[in-house]
Chain A
Amino acid sequence: MRNAIASLVLILTAASPAPEARVRLFVIVSPSQTVTDLSLADLRRIYAGDMTRWPDGHRIVPVMPPARSRETALFLEHVLRTTMIDYAQNWISVVFRGRAPAPPRVLATADAIRFVTTHADAIALIPDPLDPPPGVRVISVDHRAADAPGYPLTW
């Protein structure tokens, strides 16, 4: 009987889909950027086109993760609280109102890192890197470092 139950548990465990891995987004900027922390509200404003300037007055260049990635879907849902269609059309409106130029969008995380290394005013979101990428600086969100408990960009 015990063997039968153990076998059943083993079968059920094997048949159930593996839980999706947690996603943690790192916020990266150029090392020359003086900002070391952003509130979640400001991050939302930056990616909604409502906040367009760094404290030094330079224009913020926000870079989104690849469009069809899970990171983008989670960021849109939990931070911007919008859908991909509405996000894209909001930026059409932002550009049309003269508030900011259209933001760059990348095809791969490596492109986002490369963009930030070459643009002092860029900001990008990248999934949990195995090693801190060279040439960029990771900043905290709501005064929580990316590896701290309660980091808000973890789902």
Chain B
Amino acid sequence: MPLRADGATSQSLPIFHVGGFGDIEAHTHSSSRREDLNAAELDVFATLQLSNSWSALADAVALKSWNTRADEKSVEIELERLYVEYSTSDAFRLELGETETGIVRWSAREHRSRFLQTPVDVPAIARRPAEDGAWPLRFIGARGSGRMSGPLGLTWAAGAGVGPGPVREAVPVFGGGRSPAALLLLSSSPESIPGFDTGAAVYAQEVHSRPDRIRERDVTLWVNYVSHGDEMRIEWARMNHSLTSNPAMFVTTGYYALLSKRLSGRAEHARPYVLLDRLRVARGESYLGEAADENAWAAGLRYDVTQRFNVKTELRSQRSVAGHRESVLGLELGTSF
């Protein structure tokens, strides 16, 4: 990604940049009852620096998936982010448009591309609604964020707008399905512990579904430590849904823990890892639709052939919907351009 300085002597505005990620995944199951799933994903983003203060970003994903034993194929194209940004200091930046909620740290904001994340699969709590994920990862509105000076390295974010509507994959801006949402995030990266980051985020929304509106309250806690090639990421999330006409409460919880280490010397291109992935979806929760419990662990190896091309292989053990444990062997080729 870094440019050659001798080719970057001009800083005249506007500056336009296009980049992206591509990956191909193949999965094969130990269970003969399950179809092997393959997928190819292309994520293209563009940034436009209009002035010292104003910029814009657009990001779209095309995903094609298919089963090897059935003639089922699907292609999805999704606009992930589209916003303009105003910023004059690190203490304050404002995004207006479609952007990330930030309720899950391991979300599109940090790890949208599978190229950047260490394991093959995204943890269950960080999956997008289109991938049967439960948490609202995107919203449309205004989102402010910034970093406060001081040894604690505090960062904040706050936003208001509209979140996913009655159909979780969509964020309606107009009409009856418009669902107001707000979020608040606080994190700390102390100067005394380089690479350490911890924080919490809360998200509130009223989903204007029918016949009952759903009141959603989410909270997430995380701890990350990335230093000298060591990587530890732990995140816990809870989602409460209550109906406006019914005292029943639906509670969905999940967490993941990732440990990885970049090897040294001649093996520095390799990064072995283990991942623990849990999700428990509230029973009787119809709004979450296809989201299913997850009880899995995975062990794998990421190998960075170059800074822009990697190969990952992973063995994942997970409990199937029917209740028995099955193994999935995954292979992914990823690139950045």
Binding site for B on A (CB under 8 A): 39, 41, 44, 50-53, 57-59, 61, 63-64, 77, 81-86, 88-89, 91-93, 95-98, 101-107, 111-112, 114-115, 118-119
- Contacting residue for B116 out of A58, A92, A115, A119, CB 8 A: A92
* Given contacts A86-B229, A119-B11, A106 and B6 within 8 Å (CB-CB): yes
Contact A82–B5 (Cβ < 8 Å):
no
* Given contacts A50-B147, A58-B52, A41 and B191 within 8 Å (CB-CB): yes
Stretch at the interface among B105-113, B200-208, B280-288: B105-113
User: For A64, A82, A114, which residue has the most chain B Cβ atoms within 10 angstroms?
Assistant: A82
* Given contacts A51-B147, A81-B195, A106-B6, A57 and B52 within 8 Å (CB-CB): yes
* Given contacts A86-B262, A111-B5, A81 and B15 within 8 Å (CB-CB): no
Contact A81–B6 (Cβ < 8 Å):
no
Report the bound CA distance from A85 to B6 in whole Å: 22
Task: List 14 A–B pairs whose Cβ atoms lie within 8 Å, in order of A's numbering.
Answer: A41-B153, A41-B194, A53-B89, A57-B52, A57-B88, A81-B195, A85-B307, A89-B336, A104-B3, A105-B4, A106-B6, A107-B4, A112-B5, A115-B8
Report the bound CA distance from A111 to B173 in whole Å: 50
**Residues from chain A with Cβ under 8 Å of B194 in the complex:** 41, 44, 81
Contact B5–A106 (Cβ < 8 Å):
yes
**Residues from chain A with Cβ under 8 Å of B21 in the complex:** 96
| B126 interface contact, C-beta 8 A | no
- What are the nearest 4 A-B pairs in CB distance? A105-B2, A104-B5, A88-B307, A41-B191
Contact B147–A95 (Cβ < 8 Å):
no
CB distance from B52 to the nearest CB of A (A): 6
Report the bound CA distance from A85 to B116 in whole Å: 11
**Residues from chain A with Cβ under 8 Å of B191 in the complex:** 39, 41
Contact A88–B2 (Cβ < 8 Å):
yes
Task: Enumerate B52-84 residues with CB–CB distance to A below 8 Å.
Answer: 52-53, 55, 57, 59
Report the bound CA distance from A138 to B249 in whole Å: 61
**Residues from chain B with Cβ under 8 Å of A86 in the complex:** 229, 262
Contact A96–B45 (Cβ < 8 Å):
yes
Contact A51–B116 (Cβ < 8 Å):
no
| B246 interface contact, C-beta 8 A | no
| B212 interface contact, C-beta 8 A | no
* Given contacts A57-B89, A111-B6, A85 and B262 within 8 Å (CB-CB): yes
Report the bound CA distance from A123 to B332 in whole Å: 38
* Given contacts A59-B52, A96-B113, A115-B5, A81 and B227 within 8 Å (CB-CB): yes
CB distance from A94 to the nearest CB of B (A): 9
- Contacting residue for B3 out of A85, A88, A103, A112, CB 8 A: A103
Q: Which residue of A lies closest to B111 (CB)?
A: A93
Report the bound CA distance from A95 to B226 in whole Å: 19
Q: Which residue of A lies closest to B21 (CB)?
A: A96
* Given contacts A82-B228, A83-B262, A86-B229, A97 and B6 within 8 Å (CB-CB): no
Contact A82–B2 (Cβ < 8 Å):
no
Report the bound CA distance from A37 to B190 in whole Å: 20
| B326 interface contact, C-beta 8 A | no
| B290 interface contact, C-beta 8 A | no
Given contacts A83-B268, A85-B262, 13 further A-B contacts (CB under 8 A): A41-B153, A51-B147, A57-B89, A82-B226, A88-B307, A89-B116, A89-B336, A91-B1, A91-B2, A96-B59, A96-B113, A104-B5, A115-B5
